[in-house]
Amino acid sequence: MQRLSAGDCFVFVIGVTALTLMLSACVVYEPYYYPQSQYDRVWESAIRAAEEVGIVVSAADRDKGTITGSKGPVDVTIAVLTQADGRIRVHMSARGPEGAEPYLTERFNQAYQRYMGR
């Protein structure tokens, strides 16, 4: 076994000290997840449900709570409304030729309920 010289020991000690100081300067914080507001959850669920059923979203105004789009010849408006008692209501209306996309509202509602975990 080879003995280390005094200079080698000094370099080793300096290296270990520097490494220790660098590692002690690293601070790892636990992630904090900000709770998503109920309105945000409802809004995002409505958007995702619309896209899932094939509605092409042309405008989404979160502040006004309106999502507009279309599926083929059918024009769609989705309203995300905060009621006086604090509950949030989602309402979809579809206008188009009679018989076009007859179950669109029901499919949207099913997808929306699924995204809301119901």
- Tens-digit pLDDT profile for residues 87-110: 999 999 999 998 888 899 999 999
* Contact by Cβ (8 Å): 81, 91: yes
The model's pTM is 0.69
Query: Tokens 């995002």, residue?
Result: 44
Measured between alpha carbons, how far is 86 from 39 in angstroms, rounded to an integer? 10
CB atoms within 10 A of CB 76: 24
CATH homologous superfamily of 38-115:
Kinase associated domain 1, KA1 (3.30.310.80)
Measured between alpha carbons, how far is 49 from 66 in angstroms, rounded to an integer? 14
5-14, 26-35, 56-65: range with lowest mean pLDDT: 26-35
The predicted pLDDT at position 99 comes to 85
